[in-house]
Amino acid sequence: METKQDLPLADAGRQLQGVRTWVVEDDPEWRALVVDELERHGAVVRGIDSVEALYRELAVDRCDIVVLDIVLPGEDGLSATSHLRRIDDMGIALVTGRSSAADMAHGLSAGADLYLTKPLELPVLVAALHSLHRRLASRRADPPAQAREPAAAGGRDAGEDWSLRAGGWELWAPNGRSLLLTVAERVLLQELFSAPGTPLGRERLIAALSPTPRDFDPHRLEVLVHRLRTRVRTATGLTLPVRTLRGAGYLLVSAQS
């Protein structure tokens, strides 16, 4: 794809300087507008028209952030988000016309870092991607020793075996292996780690996950926990110490439990 060398880059700012950003969108007009705007802000951009084409690109190269539409020919953006989150720590921004709270919750639970709805002003997209890039850089950096969460009854910190680090974006297991968390996983675990050994009701967890709890399908909480357990087992070889309390909620099993 040709870079627009004649644009007034100095006036546009360089918020995304050098950030490798791939835009997956089947609407050629909107894709061209987004690519053009991101290039003006210094990003290294590729325009891609399908998830299958994205996978071909990823087979030989990497990007920092992928901007995904949800409704695409072939595999959709939500399915792609779940797959990408399992294989890479790239930033994932969903940009879509689906604006309901349920759709947003689904997208974030699938692993998206951002969920932006159309119609979308391009400066807002640039600012959101700039913020995401800074956050990604922070969570990829080697974190210093983090302050642990409050201790459970009995005085022992749940973080002595499992802990959240890098601002809550990484889950560390007792064997030293770690997992980069999605937005929804981070929110869920921060709630559980804030009260190790204490049952937390579904209502509290849903309220933390969604700005509109009444619109949040409770089944999505179960799906989120199930996927998180699977990802933790795959990444660390250990079982996440989160116990399901039938009819009550969930419990982070403390070190003394």
| Lowest mean pLDDT, pick from 32-36, 97-101, 164-168, 235-239 | 164-168
pLDDT, tens digit (0-9, with 9 covering 90-100), for 202-257: 899 988 887 777 877 788 888 889 889 998 999 899 999 999 988 788 999 875 44
3-state secondary structure of 22: strand
pLDDT, tens digit (0-9, with 9 covering 90-100), for 53-87: 998 888 778 899 999 999 999 999 998 998 888 77
- Which positions ≥6 away from 30 have C-beta within 8 Å? none
- Which positions ≥6 away from 113 have C-beta within 8 Å? 91, 92, 93, 132, 135, 136, 182, 183
Please state, in angstroms and rounded to a whole number, the distance separating the CA atoms of residues 108 and 101.
11
Amino acid letter, 26: D
Question: Tokens 């003394």 map to which residue?
Answer: 256
Q: Is 74 left (phi over 0), alpha (psi -120 to 50) or beta?
A: left
